[in-house]
Amino acid sequence: MELFWFIIIGLILTMFFILDGYDFGAGIIHLFFAKKEKDKEVITKSAGLFWDSNEVWLVAAGGLLFMAFPTFYASVFSGFYLPLIIVLWLIVFRAIGLEFRGHFKYQMWKAIWDKSFGVSSLLLALFFGIALGNIVRGVNLGGVEDGISIYEGHYFFLPLWSSSFSPLSTHPGVIDWFTLIIGFISVVTLAIHGANWVILKTNASINEKLKKVVFKLNLVLLVLTIISLVGWNIIVPESFRNFTVRPYLIIFPIIYLIGLIGLFFRSKMKKDFTAFMCSTLLILGGITSSLASMFPVILPSTNSVNEHLTIYNTTTSQYGLSVALSWGIVGLILLGVYFIVQRRLMKGKIDDMDYGH
């Protein structure tokens, strides 16, 4: 049952980053490339019409995580308290940026909420990437000092950064050079995904320009990916051991590579949906490869005093998992119906759909 819920929660989180990821990406595109009012309006629509339903997947993942792996939930929500509060405020400002923009026609009013939408989307992409970097790097579980835990073995607390700014420090911060690299990868990946979404769903005048931007960003992503793999292997020796012990897991890095290589041929793709699927594969492959490389660990310990948190030592009782199964299935069906209905209502280009007026 532990493995089942690990897979389900992993898939739901991946769905969140695929779906809300294009909203983050649209915000980044809006911030840097939208100059004309018409382009700003349609890009805002491309995110605004979907963001609230997309974030349902995050709520579902959080609820299931609390249900299936309460020890892990308690650990990360206390240890990452500071960045989580920052993320909460960024989500708030992104939402009100989208919802408030169209309330008045004053240019200054629109400019304020455009910046709120764009900057919060950029920082959300960055912080979610940094969060993934912290998970794969590991944390000082128990807050060990001189071989003695100052907390219980599954608890920790991280400052936003430490004076060394090093992931190899005994007490690393949330932000260091390695987690920043993963954060930059997240920003670039979601910017690509958002650009493909804008092209797919709108007739913005910058669509042709965005196709060239996708190619350039893909080059940056390739370089950052290589740097991150080298850095990861330095910080976590044998970080890729799972792929040799369980060769079938290699499918996940292959998914990432297919998306990465495919986007280099963006200009030759006749269908915009094909490019969007390539950036979807980037996100799917990136997240699943990270989880597969760690399995069954879900939060590594950087000290030898306290053991890693795994899907087996952080789970609830078997009875709790089995009871939750029936309710979880009902919830997932409702979530799926909600998703399908909304997509059918919002299919095609959204330029002429009403939002924020």
On whether residue 160 sits in a domain, the answer given is yes
Candidates 108, 104, 109, 124; CA nearest to 47 is 124
On whether residue 300 sits in a domain, the answer given is yes
Structural domain range at position 244: 2-345
On whether residue 357 sits in a domain, the answer given is no
Provide long-range contacts, Cβ within 8 A and 24+ apart, for 251-258. 252/285, 252/288, 252/289, 252/292, 253/285, 253/289, 254/285, 255/281, 255/284, 255/285, 255/288, 255/289, 256/281, 256/282, 256/284, 256/285, 256/286, 256/289, 257/285, 258/285
Candidates 311, 304, 300; CA nearest to 139 is 300
| pLDDT value, residue 356 | 55
On whether residue 267 sits in a domain, the answer given is yes
C-alpha 189/C-alpha 181 separation (Å) is: 12
Structure tokens at 182: 């993963």
The number of domains in the chain is: 1
On whether residue 350 sits in a domain, the answer given is no
On whether residue 355 sits in a domain, the answer given is no
Structure tokens at 252: 């996940």
pLDDT along the chain (357 residues), means of 10: 88 92 94 90 88 86 89 91 92 89 83 92 96 92 82 86 85 91 97 95 90 94 95 86 90 95 88 94 94 91 88 86 81 84 81 68
- Contact at 8 Å (CB) between 199 and 348? no
E-only strand ranges, the chain: 297-299, 309-310
On whether residue 92 sits in a domain, the answer given is yes
**How many H-runs (helices) and E-runs (strands) does the chain carry?**
13, 2
| pLDDT value, residue 37 | 87
On whether residue 354 sits in a domain, the answer given is no
| pLDDT value, residue 274 | 94
Structure tokens at 228: 């991150």
Instruction: Please tell me whether residue 322 adopts helix, strand or coil conformation.
Output: helix
